[in-house]
Each structure stands twice: as C-alpha cells, then as structure tokens.
Amino acid sequence: MDIKRLQHIVALADQGSFVRAAERVHLSQPAFSRSIQAAEAELEMKLFGRGGGTEVKCTPSGAFVVDRARRILHESRSLERDIELFRSGMIGAVCIGAGPFVAASLLPAMLTGIRLRYPEAEVQVQVNNPPVLIDCVRREELDFFVGETRDVPRDGTFDITALGGQRAGFYVRAGHPLLAKPRLKMRDIESFGLATGRLPRQVRSALQKALGVPADGQLRVALECDDTHLVRRVVMSTDTVMVASNDILVDELASGAIKRLTIADFPPAYTDLGVVALNGRSHSPLALHAIKQLAALVKDAQEQAVTS
C-alpha cells in the first residue's frame, strides 16, 4: 500500500468525516471515497463504519491499521527530513538514552561537542535508569542508550558495545565522622545510610554480602534517586554515604567538599558502561558520531584515572 493511501486512512480516522478528510488531503469526495474503498479491498477488511449521522468511526481492524499507518507515516516524514538535512550539509537527528552517572559525567562534553560541530542537528536525551531505558530501546523510542549494562538481557535482542568502566566507591561530606576512623570496614558505614541511584543486581548483591545481609534479605538504601545532583546535595548536608563514580564528583573532590572513603574489606569497584541498541539496527551518522565521542571520553577518563 502506498504512502498516499495510508495518509488518506489516517486523515479519515482523524477527521471522522469523508468531507473533512477529503478537504484535508486536497481530493474531491468521490476520489477520496474510492481511495478508502481500494484500501479496504486491498487489505480485505472493513476499516471504517458509520457512527451517528455522517460521522465515521474506525472498526477494531481499522484502529489497528491506523495505528500502524501513523508509525509508517512518521518514519516516512523522518526519512524525508533527514535526507534534506544531508543535502543541506547537516547531519540529522538522534534520540539518546543515558544512565544517571553518564548523564552527570560524560554527556555534557559529548553534547557540547555536537552543538559546536553540528549546530543544526536535533538531539533528544532521556535520562533514566537502565531498566527503563532498555524498554525504550526495545520499543524503538531511542536510537541507543549509554549506561550500566549488567542488567541488559543477553538474549540476542540487543547489541552491546562495551565502553569500559568508571571507578566507583563510597563518598561522604568533608568533616564526616567516618573520616576520623583509621581503618574502615563495610559494617562501619551501615548505620549512616546509603544514597545511590538504582543499582544493578550484581552490585546490590555484592553490597548485601559485604554488609552481612542474608541472601534472602533486603539491602537497606536510605535514599534511592537517579537525580545525581539531588543526591549530592543531600550527602553534602547530612552524614549519608553516597555510592557513586569518581567522574560525577570531580569538582567536589577537587574542592574537598566531598571525600572518598577507603574501605578495607570492599574491593575496588567499577561501572560496566556500554552502548545498547537493538540488534541489527543501523545507526545514523549523528548517532555514530555520538557513540564515537562517548567512547573517546570514557577512554580519556580512564587514562586520567591511571595517571592521577
């Protein structure tokens, strides 16, 4: 079925009237009616039925077809727009998802680079925790997301490009009572409460074990929030212990406002960052540029961590 006929189906669903729909698509009413009849004949199903008076309503089959037609028309318009952008020397559009740590550490530099190099490009960003972003990628609402990948299903649905990791740890405000203890253990931090974003299952399990929480028990998290700016403000104003990565606390660590805890019985921990897209999905040039920049930023951060 061609695009024009799909446009006619959607127009009739939106207008609820053959007269108004024909006007909308700039056809005579007889020509418009023939187009709808041809669509129903081609699909071998009735798409529209009479409502009250001259009003027209979708049948259940029609509602199904209209929903799919809207998606196809949207993709068609997006294709036309992107082709025009390429002809004009621009680069297109991209929808990116980002986990909270990535949004606070890597995304500002990546987005700044895109804005400076491709000022006409369109970038949409959704910041959320990985389980939500996984569903968005699955529904093709995002071109890809970048963030923690340990909870991404390894069932062939997704393509995962590993980027490496960011050093993670426990952080407190300057002057925190724990900073006066000569040799910290995990049990020492428990009573102060943990503040963090949504943790991957593996990390949550490791924390439970280190804190002596039974396998069938529940890890106590005093504050779980994906807004890292909010968590930082709470940690700087209370004795709460923040679970985070070095990269989102660069300024606070440099100024001494926040201190990293050294805990004797908990090994060094790292995030497991990657780019997650639907398997088999081809990326636009802008998406490829964004992924390349993110990989470079992670590499730079890792090299700086080694030398510092």
pLDDT at 200: 87
Chain centre distance of CA 52: 44
Asked whether residue 202 falls in the same domain as residue 252, the answer is yes
- Per-residue pLDDT reduced to its tens digit, 188-215: 998 999 999 988 888 888 898 888 888 7
And the tokens for 175? 């002057």
Q: Tell whether the model's pLDDT for residue 92 goes beyond 80.
A: no
For 123, the domain range is: 93-165+272-307
Which of 87, 116, 151 corresponds to the end of one domain?
A: 87
Same domain, 101 and 195: no
Residue 40 has what pLDDT? 93
Are 159 and 142 a contacting pair, CB within 8 Å? no
Whether residue 284 is found in the same domain as residue 156: yes
Q: What is the pLDDT of residue 88?
A: 55
- 256 and 107: one domain? no
Domain boundary among 70, 87, 104: 87
Share of residues in the chain with pLDDT > 90 (%): 61
Q: Is residue 93 over pLDDT 90?
A: no
Q: Which residues pair with 241 in a beta bridge?
A: 194
**Amino acid (one-letter) located at 114:** I
State the pLDDT at residue 308: 56
Examine the domain organization and report whether 81 and 119 are in the same domain. Answer: no
Comparison of pLDDT for 1 and 239, the residue scoring more: 239
- Residue 259: count of CB within 10 angstroms of its CB: 18
Condensed to tens digits (0 to 9), the pLDDT of residues 32-45 reads: 999 999 999 999 99
Residue 164 CB coordination number (10 Å): 14
Question: Which of 69-78, 145-154, 169-178, 229-238 is predicted least confidently?
Answer: 69-78
Cα torsion 188, 191, 196, 200: sign: positive
Assess whether 114 and 153 both reside in one domain. yes
Per-residue model confidence as pLDDT tens digits over 253-291: 999 999 999 999 988 888 899 999 999 888 888 888 899
pLDDT at 85 (0 to 100): 60
Q: What does the mean pLDDT of the chain come to?
A: 89
Q: Considering its fold, how many domains does the chain have in total?
A: 3
- Tens-digit pLDDT profile for residues 114-170: 998 888 788 999 999 999 999 999 998 999 999 999 999 999 999 999 998 888 899
